[in-house]
Amino acid sequence: MASLNPAGEEDAFGRYRSPLVSRYASPDMAYNFSERKKFSTWRRLWLYLAQAEKSLGLPITDEQIKEMEANLDNIDFRMAAEEEKRLRHDVMAHVHTFAHYCPKAAGIIHLGATSCYVGDNTDLIVLRDGFNLLLPKLATIINRLADFAKKYSNLPTLGFTHYQPAQLTTVGKRCCLWIQDLCTDLHNFERARDELRFRGVKGTTGTQASFLQLFEGDHSKVEELDRLVTAMAGFKRAYIITGQTYSRKVDIEVLSVLASLGATVHKICTDIRLLANLKEIEEPFEKEQIGSSAMAYKRNPMRSERCCSLARHLMILVLDPLQTASVQWFERTLDDSANRRVCLPEAFLTADIILSTLQNISEGLVVYPKVIARHIEQELPFMSTENIIMAMVKAGGNRQECHEKIRVLSQQAAAVVKQEGGDNDLIARIRADPYFSPIHGQLETLLEPTSFTGRASQQVARFLNEEVKPALVPYQSKMGVKIELSL
């Protein structure tokens, strides 16, 4: 059948490419899940196995080891593809391809191992490296938002509960709500990475039977082989118990913390989008950026919208490993393979894109204090009524009588706002009412916004010093790079 692509089958733009890679992802994360990283890691694992087997007495020569070392990155992808087409087995295709370039070592490549020795162990390396790429980005965002929170720790702003005006907070205190969730994600990432273990050298069903045979029943050598290869791969521990694969519940743990990040970012960026609608805070907007092809005045929060869009995708990906783990019969079935090829890379690529975008947002947030002050001015008279009542009582007034007068005046002012579209004139009504003359001189003080923010600024200072600053210590040398988005 002829190709539907008029430019021919070799046309790269005539084939679907995941936008996670072609449009958004960082080069480092894209490489982490690349074929080259995968297969060069397979070769390193074969090298580690041969080196460890040699050190424990198996007849493997220095010449064979050197030959393998010389060809770790010399991968003939075309030959490997042809071998896989012929053999219908990706691991054996790469064994044959590696052996072709290492003829002296051909007989000892993959000795005693099963496919999951390279497959699963490589996945664990890639997951670990993926977290190591994400963690500095997450720390950088926390650092940028911490600077923002400190700068605006004293700036009063309307709080919202049920998206209705509530007690005042500060811009910096609200930002600390975001930071706190991101710090939880930082801790979860570190924990998930540090709890990853190596599958190690376990054989076809996890019993290490093939290696026990190689070492003629010497259990101590099999255990030492497992320990040596685990250390060579950069892990402190290997799973003692595996089937053919490491437990797929590990993937659940990994994608759970990524999904949790998705929830955090969706909340943060939704808040920013709502604040942009109120014209209180906006994400960066480039000088020549176009918000709408028709409405030239538009300043759409497209970065925050992108984060929300991708966060939804990230949150649902955890469903894949949940279902995969549930259908792993006995020591293993192949229900996992195709699914994991999709969900594991997509989760890390999506998290990477979200963090890059959120960092860009955090480095360019624009605050409009006068708009914030106007919104406070519109709502504060209602919020100040309790303070006014208390001041009247201190001046000798009757609490119940004062409450009723405030109630009536508040309803009248609310009618002006809601029915006439006017400004809140409650304070003007109080000034005009002789009943409140004992406190007319106190009204300015009673209406000072900072008197309504409680300990917000002190909470910000304590939180940043006691919780945020220590959490960022391991990443100090990696937080200097600014993010420029091309799209």
Task: Report the catalytic residues.
Answer: 162, 292
Nearby residues of 384 by Cβ (< 8 Å), 6 or more positions away? 427, 446, 447, 452
The DSSP output letter for 464 is I
Nearby residues of 199 by Cβ (< 8 Å), 6 or more positions away? 116, 117, 120, 121, 124, 238, 239, 242, 245, 246
Q: Look at residues 201, 171, 136 and name the one whose alpha carbon lies nearest to residue 456.
A: 171
* Total number of residues shown for the chain: 487
- Bridge partners (DSSP) of residue 198 are 238
Nearby residues of 342 by Cβ (< 8 Å), 6 or more positions away? 320
Q: Do residues 255 and 321 touch, judged by C-beta distance below 8 A?
A: yes
The DSSP output letter for 486 is -
Q: Which residue has the tokens 């093939």?
A: 210
Kindly tell me the burial class for residue 248, based on how many C-beta atoms sit within 10 Å of its own C-beta (0-12, 13-18, 19 or more). Answer: buried
Kindly tell me the burial class for residue 169, based on how many C-beta atoms sit within 10 Å of its own C-beta (0-12, 13-18, 19 or more). Answer: buried
Kindly tell me the burial class for residue 318, based on how many C-beta atoms sit within 10 Å of its own C-beta (0-12, 13-18, 19 or more). Answer: buried
Q: Do residues 265 and 358 touch, judged by C-beta distance below 8 A?
A: yes
Q: Could you give the C-alpha distances from 366 to 171, 267, 285, 460, in angstroms and in order?
A: 12, 19, 9, 20
Nearby residues of 280 by Cβ (< 8 Å), 6 or more positions away? 157, 367, 368, 371, 372, 375
Nearby residues of 454 by Cβ (< 8 Å), 6 or more positions away? 167
Q: Do residues 479 and 16 touch, judged by C-beta distance below 8 A?
A: no
The answer to whether the Cα torsion of 389, 393, 396, 401 is positive or negative is positive
Q: Could you give the C-alpha distances from 475 to 23, 31, 143, 190, 357, in angstroms and in order?
A: 27, 22, 10, 12, 19
Q: Which residue has the tokens 């996945």?
A: 123
DSSP letters, 385-414, are HHHHHHHHHHTT--HHHHHHHHHHHHHHHH
Distance CA 185, CA 134 (A): 11
